[in-house]
Amino acid sequence: MAAGRGHFGSRLGFVLAAAGSAVGIGNIWKFPYMTGQNGGAAFLVLYLALTFTIGLSVMLAEFAIGSAAQRNPVGAFARLKGGLWPVVGALGLLAGFVILSFYGVVAGWTIAYVVKALTGALSSNDPEQLGGIFGEFISSPIEPVAYQALFMALTVGVVLGGVHDGIERWCKVLMPALFILLLVLIVRSLTLPGAEEGIAFYLKPDFSLVTAETFNGALAQAFFSLSLGMGAMITYGSYVRKEENLATSAIWVTGLDATVAILAGLLIMPAVFAFGFNPAEGPGLSFVTLPAVFSSMPFGEVFAALFFLLLSIAALTSAVSLLEVVVAYFVDERGFGRKKAATLFGFLIFLVGVPSSLSLGVWSDFTIAGKGFLDLMDFVATNLLLPLGGFFIALFVGWVIYPRAIEEVTNRGEIAFPAARLWGFVLRFVAPIAIAWILISGL
């Protein structure tokens, strides 16, 4: 282990930190509205299929790269092969930077909703009123930016604490709490009068709704949700002890992430139909639907505040991994101290995120290719950079360093890995071909 680099303290710590990165507002905010916009159950099926084939394989590939190189994404490619490969790491850094810029905006909303829940501002089950509250809030020029700043400051704070005391310690407590609260809320949502229609929309696939765009959306969502394609899992893999079973860890992280996404859909979709919201409503879906669920429960405000608090925390553990990628590069390769790197880049990323927030209000007239700034950032990073990163990571591990990667996954033959051939096949052929085909036809 390179001196001075952090590392995870326990076997569980690594899995929970990686799961903390994966489970975030991607699961609870993005997944339900993507599902709503893309025809419901058919999207869910595609998303799951891509998650457990390409997603799982690329996650293990990232762990193997990180563990073999003990470096940030750029340094890892340089160490293992060099040539043009470090460019893949650099694209990952860029993706991390861009994603965190708008992620911080939406995460700020979740903090704001904790406050709104506590002050009773969300106590309504009228779709129009809740939509109005949300619309007014996100289009204001000041309030959401202030919450975004607060969230980014918290993210910097955790990253300053380092790998073991900062990242690992938080994830261990917060992930289980989120999970339990989700289960409680689902019971309420499923027992709402009129929930059946939502359940059918969510679980009965109609494949006539599937288009090339659905594929692109499902793949992008799988990568985004699993934190893949930009080196977050390379970075976390670089902090892991060699005797860790990487394949089992990858299965756990993928499984947990998919479970939380499925549960989030099971929470939101019945409520969408029960209260007469529009499933294709878009990015506001969770923020307008959930308050209606809470207002139909005893102690609704308390549950609402608690839920948005956990959501903020889930967002925090993901944001930390995004910032950590950038910080690890500047610490490993550019001689920055952790403090300086975290503060400086946390601040720069905040600044780049401000136009994303304003694009929902005062700057909404400014569009490129018909998209506002936030949508554009999201599209470029999530729909293009992540799948592209995944494409190259699969090729790299499948074709360039495969024997070395197997050594890493088996800890030089100490750990059994019966799926070795299948993994190689997916990385060499299935993932690159599928990703290329989906990207090309999606555009």
Q: Which residues bind ligand PHE (CB under 6 A)?
A: 21-22, 24-27, 99, 224-225, 227, 230, 232, 318, 321-322
Please state the closest distance from residue 321 (CB atom) to ligand PHE, in A.
5
Question: Using only C-alpha atoms, what is the Rg of the chain?
Answer: 21
CB of 433 to ligand PHE, least distance (A): 23
The CA distance from 158 to 139, in Å, is: 29
Give the residue with the Cβ less far from ligand PHE, 67 or 254: 254
Backbone torsions φ then ψ of 6, nearest 5 degrees:
-75, 170
C-alpha distances in Å from residue 60, one per residue of 303, 311, 408, 442: 36, 26, 10, 26
Smallest gap from Cβ 397 to ligand PHE, in A, equals 18
| Residue closer to ligand PHE (CB basis): 253 or 439 | 253
End-to-end alpha-carbon separation of the chain, Å? 43
For residue 358, CA distances in Å to 38, 285, 364 come to 27, 19, 7
Region for 417 from its dihedrals, namely left if φ exceeds 0, alpha if ψ lies in -120 to 50, beta otherwise: beta
- Alpha helix stretches (DSSP H) within 140-211: 143-160, 169-190, 195-203
> Quick one: 179 or 363, whose CB is closer to ligand PHE?
179
Which alpha helices (DSSP H) does 53-167 contain, by range?
56-69, 73-80, 86-118, 127-139, 143-160
Quote the least distance from Cβ 220 to ligand PHE, whole Å: 11
Q: Which is nearer to ligand PHE, 125 or 383 (CB)?
A: 383
Amino acid letter, residue 325: V
CB of 24 or CB of 270, closer to ligand PHE: 24
Query: What tokens does 306 get?
Result: 């608690």
User: Comparing C-alpha atoms, which of 60, 54, 65, 148 is closest to residue 103?
Assistant: 148
Query: Nearest distance from residue 424's CB to ligand PHE, in Å?
Result: 25
Point out the residue whose Cβ comes nearest to ligand PHE.
Answer: 26
- Closest contact distance (angstroms) between CB of 34 and ligand PHE is 11
371 - beta bridge partners?
368
Q: Which is nearer to ligand PHE, 35 or 225 (CB)?
A: 225
Q: Minimum Å distance from CB 42 to ligand PHE?
A: 21
Query: Which residues, at least 6 apart from 340, have a Cβ–Cβ distance to it below 8 Å?
Result: none
- Which residue's CB is nearer to ligand PHE, number 158 or number 230? 230
